[in-house]
Amino acid sequence: MIAPSILSADFARLAEATESVRGADWLHVDVMDGHFVPNLTIGLPVVEALLATTDIPLDCHLMIDDPDRWAVGYAEAGAYNVTVHVEAAEDPVRIAKDLRSAGAKAGLSVKPDTPLEPYVELLGHYDTLLVMSVEPGFGGQEFIPDVLDKVRLARDHELKVLIEIDGGINLDTIEQAAEAGVDCFVAGSAVYGADDPAKAVERLRARAAREEPRES
């Protein structure tokens, strides 16, 4: 699965940006509040506008303080998958229940320096595990390969979650992430920095499936 991140799109043309990646599995939406991470992006009103313009399922990644209060609003608006950070959640089990009750899939994310082992039991309440492969807050960062150990750990525990990875995913890094066991790949500049974003999505999908050879 490929989830283009609109963090790398032109915010003045978001409707066009969503249309340009038709065929993507999910559309990744980074919500940042300027507190949990040192950046400020978009919030619920923009997500609601996006929901009205595309039928691509929205994958809302909430990099915000107090997700216990705010996360369910994204589910109620119609987001397909809503992910909160374990570092910010006060009651992650309750959040998962609330998100599911509101009709969304529930996702839990961990920063690169956050170990996964203490939260393995929590993942039984969640549908998605989002492993951050860069420090959250800004796009265009370099992939951190060490985080793939968390993916392998989740696979070793045979957790029934979809494993997603976010940060530095491109044609060079997607293969090693796929080999580690990732199911869904968030890609920003690798998609929206391409001349044809839709073709970029398909190339990433093929590379993850090892169907596209590397260029010599």
Distance of CA 173 to the CA centre of its chain: 16
Look at residue 150 and tell me if it is in a domain.
yes
How many domains are there within the chain? 1
Look at residue 118 and tell me if it is in a domain.
yes
Look at residue 214 and tell me if it is in a domain.
no
Report the C-alpha dihedral over residues 202, 210, 130, 101, rounded to 10 degrees: 70
pTM above 0.75, yes or no: yes
Q: What mean pLDDT is reported for the chain?
A: 94
Task: Quote the domain boundaries for residue 152.
Answer: 2-208
- CATH number for the domain including 84? 3.20.20.70
pLDDT at residue 212 in the model:
63
Residue 167's Cβ-count burial label (10 Å; 0-12, 13-18, 19+) is buried
In 9-137, which residue ranges form alpha helices assigned H by DSSP?
Answer: 14-19, 44-51, 67-77, 92-101
Give the total residue count for the chain.
Answer: 216
Catalytic residue among 66, 149, 166, 195: 166
Look at residue 213 and tell me if it is in a domain.
no
Q: How confident is the model at residue 216 (pLDDT cuts 50, 70, 90)?
A: very low
Predicted confidence (pLDDT) per residue in 108-166, tens digit: 999 999 999 999 999 999 999 999 999 887 766 789 999 999 999 999 988 889 999 99
In this structure, which amino acid lies at residue 117? E
Answer whether residue 21 shows pLDDT above 70.
Answer: yes
pLDDT at residue 136 in the model:
83
In this structure, which amino acid lies at residue 108? L
Look at residue 149 and tell me if it is in a domain.
yes
Look at residue 215 and tell me if it is in a domain.
no
Question: In terms of DSSP bridges, do strands 184-187 and 162-166 run parallel, antiparallel, or are they unpaired?
Answer: parallel
Answer whether residue 214 shows pLDDT above 70.
Answer: no
pLDDT at residue 15 in the model:
94
- Tell me whether residue 30 is one of the annotated catalytic residues: yes
Closest CA to 123 of 88, 167, 83: 83
Look at residue 23 and tell me if it is in a domain.
yes
Catalytic residue among 10, 25, 30, 33: 30
Closest CA to 110 of 150, 75, 52: 150
Q: What are phi and psi of 163, to 5 degrees?
A: -100, 125
Look at residue 18 and tell me if it is in a domain.
yes
